[in-house]
A and B are shown apart, each in its own frame.
Chain A
Amino acid sequence: MNLLLKSSLYTLSLTALIFTTSCTKTASDKTLKFGVKKSETLIVNLQTEPPSLDWNKSTDTTSSEVQGNIMEGLAQFDLADPELKALPALATKWESDKAVQKWTFELRTDVKWTDGVEFDAQQVVDGWERLLNPKTAAEYSYFLYNVKNAKAYNEGKIKDFSQVGIKTVGKHKLEVQLESPMSFFPSLLVHHSTYPVRKDLIEKHGDKWTEAGNMVTLGAYKLMKWEHDEAILLERNDAYFGEKAKTKYVLGRMITEQSSAINAFDAGEIDVIPELPSNDVSILKQRPEYQKQNGLIVYYYGFNTKQKPFDNLDFRKAVAMAIDKKEITKVLGQDDVTATSWVPKGMMGHEEEMGIKFDPAKAKEHMAKAGYADATKVPKITITFNTNENHKKVAENVQAQLKRNLGINIEILNEEWKVYLSKLKSKKGYSIFRMGWVADYPDPDNFLNLLTSTSANNHTGWKSEKYDSLIAKGVSELNSDKRKEYYKEAQKLVLEEDVAAVPLYYSIRQYLINSRVSGFKLNPLDEKDYKSVMVK
């Protein structure tokens, strides 16, 4: 017993030692990581290490969340406007010629980078050159393909950048020549890939120009600390040209696992959680910190029109009519909005009366017309999706609905994300697939271009010249009423007449926001703008 006593005493005292030394250290003040005071700091969960703060190269939402707060584009979206039109930011105004092919941008003259250097038009040109330079290998380089000769420069066919249609006219003015008319061109200049860059600093630091200490920006915040894979610290930029940020620091944590993030939220280690685990939504919804916001996201099922039985229009119609979208959103239980048109609610091009209505009786008629009066004769159908709890719920529900309403037996098959993508790329081995689209910029073209015959994202195998030409007309039209007409016609064609795909719902975004935080403005683009946020 003596021994037992001794060893447990020994263990106890060791634990007590660790405990006391550490308790006294953390409990006395509310100093957070990097030594900042909690009362001056908004703590957010970035969910992952930002893959790259290099705005020419990055493609993910975490990186752009940080970039959007430390940088600014030539334009920004008017989040109060129902059509989310572009507003001036680094540019003060812009205009195009009548053909909508030549644009001029006047730039602000009062902007300074965090190292005191003045912002000018050449830095915008440098940014675009870097984005389009084949050596950069930027994924978003195609964003500017409509700029004259930009594509050829990106492909390496033209070596001389002066042949590309962008040039400075004086120190604070830009002129852009497009290949073809584009009415929403300024909207592209909100995107991080088109931000101006400091070529001198990139040449000086190489890939390390985005590290804290090297990085120079001009937004409301500046990058102070970046401990990779752990945390990032932004500090208010007092030399910012716009309204100064209300909270001095933003601490970005990188908690990947959603339930761990919620634990950290409950322990007061995080103020804002931008995404909730789907299985817990029904409980989390009851909490006072819960907030939601419609997103510009369409979740859809596409048909492989190159494969039996979906090569048959009547069969596609039958399936589309046999799916009650309300049932799906109910199963998901997170208040998503049932979809009508391809373009989601909250932006131009959305139509409340669009798409095929749920009608099981009529669906059966179409089945018979397609030659499948006997449902057992239908060839094998598979719903394919990438492994995910929500996708599974949707697939199981659609499987059950089609069984109930049409008597068809459907298999469901989940696959690992990259395996799934390579399957879609091969255009083989699936009959129904799921996909989603989140707005890059709130213009209907960003959504509808996806179904054109040349789009790499069109996995349906469906092609229509008429559709392509309607989309092209929409791009070059300045009059928004006329644009709406084109887009309405195009959506009618693909969703009602040819039924290549069925939009199921528009996803909502869900947050938990601690009550000590105010002024966190939710918006459909999910822009996380920290500068107006206050903390207690």
Chain B
Amino acid sequence: MGDKFSAFSKNHILDIYKIVMGILLATGFVVSVIGVDGMLTTILWSTIGALLFAGMIFLVIKQHLLPYLIKRFMEAGVTLLVIVTLVFLLLRLMPGGPFDSERALPAEVMANIAAKYKLDAPLLEQYTHYLGNLLKGDLGESYKYLGRPVSSIISDTFPVSLQLGVYALILSYLIGIPLGVIAASKHNTWVDTGSMFLAMGGVTLPSFLVASLFILIFSFQFQILPPALWEGPLYYILPVVTLGIRPAAIIARLTRSSVLDVIRSDFVRTARAKGLAERVVLFKHVLRNSLIPVLTYSGPLIADIISGAFIIEIIFAVPGMGRHLILSVTNRDYPLVLGVALLFSVLLVVSNLLVDIFYAIVDPRIKLAA
């Protein structure tokens, strides 16, 4: 199994690549959590990004994925166009305009505003104008945050959401996978029942309740963690844990059932019969083969965690994109709603694509074809 597993193992350059990536990612993570500001973090993450990209390119060429990718990108383009069109139309259908306020404005003032934002033009013209700008990479200016481009609102807030999401994601794998493996390896013992009971709790408890409980316990009872804001590692703990609990629980349950499936298969029996240590059997033979369902779930999970973080962001006053997700609609801030919707769509499409490519790495039996 081990030999067939990776297309890279014969190539030393790629072994080095994997090791370097691992070290870089680990340092990158630690540096970001501790909050080292400035050049170091930027350089580190850009190197990781560049290496990742290079790796992807290599993979694409090696596995002849280019036609497949082109097809997927074209599909994604169509999806995004449909989304933009639908959101654009739905926004215009919603009652109430962006500049309706408690203080109704005189008609003359409204006319100036409509002219400035081209809201007085026919709908089709507004639409083509928007699309034209979009192709140039211009998402327009917010109607609420006057003079502030949507792209800068996104670039100010999205990294924070991403940071929160990525930490929660890592946390959920760190907890979920070991928990699932342990539960499966101690099948039908108190360890199994206990950890699955915990996981059930994690899945069913709503995050706002968990958040309130955590704040009550850790911020006010023990006074060790701040109840709100995003100003350093201490501040990260509660939101990250709250956000990570649910996916961790889901991953634990998925891993457990998948491990249970694999553990009963013939090659595991063979491995045990060879006299391998249980640890080696479990990690080298069972775990690797049980991760496919977990990987399948990761695509939607990534998008879910990052977009679903808005409740957590609001409760813990994390300055991410969450509030814009809701408030832009309340404010009828058309360009911002469109920008946010577009970003989340891209995120979803890209994370699903990445998962599909990872399939090909983890399981050579899967063929991605155009």
Give A contacts to B, CB under 8 Å.
2-4, 7, 11, 14, 18, 21-23, 25-26, 33, 49, 51-52, 54, 57-59, 134-139, 141-142, 145, 151, 154-155, 207-208, 210, 227-230, 253-257, 260-261, 263-264, 266-267, 269, 416-423, 425, 435-436, 455-457
Contacts of A255 in B (CB 8 A): 228-229, 317
Which of B95, B102, B104 is in CB contact (< 8 Å) with A436?
Answer: B102
In the complex, which of the residues A25, A134, A138, A264 contacts B232, with contact meaning CB atoms closer than 8 Å? A25
Q: Which residues of A contact B116 (CB under 8 A)?
A: 135, 137
B97 at the interface (CB under 8 A from A): yes
Closest residue on chain B to residue A154 by CB atoms: B108
With A137-B116, A256-B314 in contact, do A230 and B230 touch (Cβ < 8 Å)?
A: yes
The answer, yes or no, to whether B269 is at the interface (CB within 8 Å) is no
For B146, give the chain A residue with the smallest CB separation. A52
Give the CA-CA distance A84 to B174 in the complex, in Å: 62
B99 interface residue, CB < 8 Å from A? yes
Contact A11:B34 (CB < 8 A) given known A59-B101, A142-B105, A256-B314:
no
CB distance from B145 to the nearest CB of A (A): 5
**Distance to closest chain A CB from B225 (angstroms):** 9
User: Cβ of B112 and Cβ of A49 under 8 Å apart?
Assistant: no
Q: A52-B145, A267-B219 are in contact. List 14 more A-B contacts (CB 8 A).
A: A11-B174, A26-B232, A59-B101, A134-B112, A137-B117, A139-B99, A154-B112, A229-B323, A255-B229, A263-B215, A263-B228, A417-B96, A418-B332, A422-B96
Among B103, B111, B219, B237, find the residue whose CB has the most chain A CB atoms closer than 10 A: B103
A257 x B317 contact (CB < 8 A)? yes
B228 contacts A264, CB within 8 Å? Answer: yes
Closest chain A residue to B332, Cβ basis? A418
CB contacts (< 8 Å) of A25 on chain B: these are 35, 232-233
Q: Does B115 contact A (CB under 8 A)?
A: yes
Chain B residues near A (Cβ < 8 Å): 33-35, 94-97, 99-109, 111-113, 115-117, 144-148, 152-153, 156-157, 174-175, 178, 181-182, 185-186, 191, 215, 219-220, 226-234, 237, 279, 282, 314-317, 319, 323, 327, 330-332
Shortest Cβ gap from A425 to chain B (Å): 7
- Determine how close the nearest CB of chain A comes to the CB of B91; give it in whole angstroms: 11
Chain A residues whose CB sits within 8 angstroms of the CB of B315 once the complex forms: 257, 260
Q: Are A142 and B109 in contact (CB under 8 A)?
A: yes
A207 touches B148 (CB 8 A): yes
Candidates A4, A264, A420; contact of B317 at CB < 8 Å:
A264
In the complex the two chains form, what is the Cα distance from A58 to B143 in whole Å? 11
Q: Is the CB of B233 within 8 A of A22?
A: yes
Measured in the bound complex, the distance between the Cα atoms of B115 and A393 in whole Å is 40
**Chain A min CB distance to B211 (Å):** 10
A455 and B181 CA atoms in complex are apart in Å by: 70
For B282, the chain A residues whose CB sits under 8 A away are: 3
B113 is contacted by which of A22, A139, A228, A260 (Cβ under 8 Å)?
A: A139
Q: Which 9 A-B pairs have the closest CB atoms?
A: A418-B96, A207-B147, A22-B233, A456-B104, A263-B227, A52-B146, A137-B116, A230-B319, A422-B96
- Docked CA distance A200–B74 (Å): 48
Chain B residues lying within 8 Å of A253, measured Cβ to Cβ, are 229, 317
Given A139-B105, A228-B156, A421-B100, CB of A260 within 8 Å of CB of B227: yes
For A267, give its contact among B34, B109, B226, B314 (CB under 8 Å): B226
Q: Which residues of B contact A2 (CB under 8 A)?
A: 279
Residue pair B113, A422 in contact (C-beta under 8 Å): no
Q: A267, B232: Cβ atoms under 8 Å?
A: no
B229 touches A269 (CB 8 A): yes
B220 touches A256 (CB 8 A): no
What distance in Å separates the Cβ of A267 from its nearest Cβ neighbour in chain B? 5
Of B156, B181, B228, most A-chain CB atoms within 10 Å: B228
Kindly list chain A residues whose C-beta atoms are within 8 Å of the C-beta of B228.
255, 260-261, 263-264, 267, 269
* Distance in angstroms between the alpha carbons of A54 and B146 in the assembled complex: 8
Taking a contact as CB atoms under 8 Å apart, the answer to whether B95 and A137 are in contact is no
Instruction: Give A141 to B194 CA distance when docked, in angstroms.
Output: 66
Shortest distance between the CB of A536 and any CB in chain B (Å): 21
A142 CA to B181 CA in the complex, in Å?
A: 68
B320 to chain A: closest residue by CB: A229
A residues less than 8 Å from B117 (CB atoms)? 137
